[in-house]
Amino acid sequence: MDLKADFCVVGGGPAGLTLALLLARSGAAVVVVERSTSMEREYRGEILQPGGLRLLAELGVLDGARERGCHEHSRFRFVDRARALVDIDYRRLPGPFNYLLSIPQRHLIEELLAAIQRLGVTYLAGHRVSELITEDGRIGGVVAGGPDRRQVVRAHCVVAADGRYSKTRQLAGIEFDRRDVFDHDVLWFKIPCPAGDPPDVRIFRAAGNPVLVYRSFPDSLQVGWTLPHKGYRAMAEQGIDHVKARIADALPPYAGLIDSTLTSLSDLTLLDVFSGTARRWAADGLVLIGDAAHTHSPIGAQGINLAVQDAVALHPLLMASLRAGNPSADLLGPYVAVRRRDVAAIMRLQVMQSRAMLSQSPVAAALRPRAAKALSRTPVFRKVLHRLAYGNKDIRIAADLFVTD
Ligand SMILES: Cc1cc2nc3c(=O)[nH]c(=O)nc-3n(C[C@H](O)[C@H](O)[C@H](O)COP(=O)(O)OP(=O)(O)OC[C@H]3O[C@@H](n4cnc5c(N)ncnc54)[C@H](O)[C@@H]3O)c2cc1C
């Protein structure tokens, strides 16, 4: 039997579930279509910034997600050959959300999922969207392959929240402009967290390529070693001992742990990291949010925060479009305009950060300490920090639309 809803959200990640919760609390009938059958899927990104934390707290899901396990981090540090060139103390920001939160994405997803299911949202797990339904010149639903049969979902508006390789975006014929400004791949792995390790998010630069390190729940260090795009294969051909030695050179404080923990290349996951934006974020009957609209490198931990803010910014417009019975791209225009501007600002900052921290050129290496010291004393630095920590502060939850807790 076909399902009918006000909104069909494709993708049960942070963007899709946050939006589903906002819409359901406003009395809309929502179907979420998620291709995974369980919570055992690949997640990337665990660091939440203060702006995202505030919105999730206001939505009533932060405490429950935290109770499932997390770590607070008080500082971000960029350590260049044992010298901290950048040392940002989040505790200096106004409370209560004056910290970075390292929380397994699964904990956030489980909490959001429990909240939408309490509100009667239909969650189709194990359903992969494969077709869009077009009616009267606009998108009017999706077809999703499920475990037993295909399911048709008709809706006033379809929301593509299906991540950076968005199938929905592709089916709608919307092109994606990939920007390889990050120009690095990331080798992602965990090692045990030593007792007394500082509660900081850090990027280390020593010999070799920069490395991101932070404490991950329950008791490990998440390590992201950046390496030149497509450079891993040649290195891996020389075997695990060679790779281990290179990582240990890049991360001297943890050399012993790296040596004892990594035993084979299968302990390491190579990630193709890129950024980019979709050419259009709305069509009649369709709107894109989160990574489906704009994809980010991990630099500055922005993706989940932007995804949550997208959902909050879009919610009142979708409710207005439902009331008006008009899911046209024009009506969703204000969301697209505001968020394109916000995302462009963040992308510019991420490019700056990449160049400043990751560049291997001898000139950059020589200038880096003085430039970092000079910049950290300027008002620009504070402005940049606030943008990264809070995103667009004007984006507020339209709680006046809620008809239920
Ligand atoms: C290495 C790395 C580290 C990162 N670190 C951080 C960080 O610390 N902090 C941060 O804020 N961000 C980080 N990010 C970015 C962050 O992970 C993403 O921006 C965020 O997950 C986007 O959320 P989303 O809901 O838009 O998409 P996703 O989280 O990708 O969710 C999309 C969902 O859609 C589902 N789906 C896909 N296709 C279909 C289909 N055809 N039918 C049905 N369902 C489908 C998927 O299963 C998934 O559940 C990182 C990214 C990378 C690559």
113 in ligand 1 pocket by Cβ < 6 Å? no
**Edge-to-edge strand order for the sheet containing 100-102?**
47-48, 100-102, 71-73
3-state SS record for 187-233: EEEEEECCCCCCCEEEEEECCCCCEEEEEECCCEEEEEEEEECCCHH
> CATH 3.30.9.10 spans which residues of the chain?
184-272
Cβ atoms within 10 A of the Cβ of 1, count? Answer: 5
Give, in degrees to the nearest 5, the angle at Cα 241 between 238 and 243: 65
The torsion angle over the Cα atoms of residues 316, 159, 119 and 61, rounded to 10 degrees, is -80
d(CA 234, CA 244): 14
Q: Are 240 and 262 in contact (CB under 8 A)?
A: yes
pLDDT of res. 82: 83
| 348/300 Cα distance (integer angstroms) | 12
Q: Whose CA is nearest to atom 27 of ligand 1?
A: 163
Q: Are 289 and 10 in contact (CB under 8 A)?
A: no
Query: Helix 303-324 to helix 14-25 angle, to the nearest 10 degrees?
Result: 40
- Residue 198: the pLDDT is 92
Q: Are 115 and 61 in contact (CB under 8 A)?
A: yes
- Look up the pTM and report it: 0.96
DSSP 283: E
Q: Is 33 in the pocket of ligand 1 (CB under 6 A)?
A: yes
Distance 163 CA to ligand 1 centre (A): 5
Dihedral (CA of 45, 48, 51, 52) sign: positive
171/157 Cα distance (integer angstroms) = 15
Q: Judge if the beta carbon of residue 16 lies within 6 A of ligand 1.
A: yes
Q: What is the predicted pLDDT for the residue at 294?
A: 98
Type and span of the H or E element at 184: strand 184-192
Q: Judge if the beta carbon of residue 339 lies within 6 A of ligand 1.
A: no
Q: Which residues contact 382 (CB under 8 A, 6 or more apart)?
A: none
Q: What is the CATH architecture assignment of 184-272?
A: 2-Layer Sandwich (3.30)
b/e sequence 32-44, b meaning 16+ C-beta within 10 Å: bbbbbeeeeeebb
Q: Whose CA is nearest to atom 18 of ligand 1?
A: 303
The protein residue whose alpha carbon is closest to atom 21 in ligand 1 is 304
pLDDT at 375: 72
- State whether the Cα torsion 13-19-25-27 is positive or negative: negative
At 184, give phi and psi (nearest 5°).
-135, 150
Ligand 1 atom having least distance to the Cα of 273: 53
CATH 3.50.50.60 range(s) for the chain read 3-41+106-179+276-401
CA 80 to mean position of chain CA atoms: 26
CA gap 181, 355 in Å, rounded? 9
State how beta strands 282-283 and 286-288 pair.
antiparallel
Please tell me the distance from the alpha carbon of residue 34 to that of residue 70, in angstroms, as a whole number: 25
- 366: CA distance to ligand 1 center in Å? 36
Enter the CATH code of domain 3-41+106-179+276-401.
Answer: 3.50.50.60
Per-residue pLDDT of the chain (405 residues; tens, 9 = 90+): 999 999 999 999 999 999 999 999 999 999 999 999 998 888 888 999 999 999 999 999 999 999 999 999 999 999 988 888 888 999 999 999 999 999 999 999 999 999 999 999 999 999 999 999 999 999 999 999 988 889 999 999 999 999 999 999 999 999 999 986 667 889 999 999 999 999 999 999 887 788 999 999 999 999 999 988 888 999 999 999 999 999 999 999 999 999 999 999 999 999 988 899 999 999 999 999 999 999 998 888 999 999 999 999 999 999 999 999 999 999 999 999 999 999 999 999 988 887 777 776 776 777 777 777 777 778 888 888 999 999 999 999 999 999 998
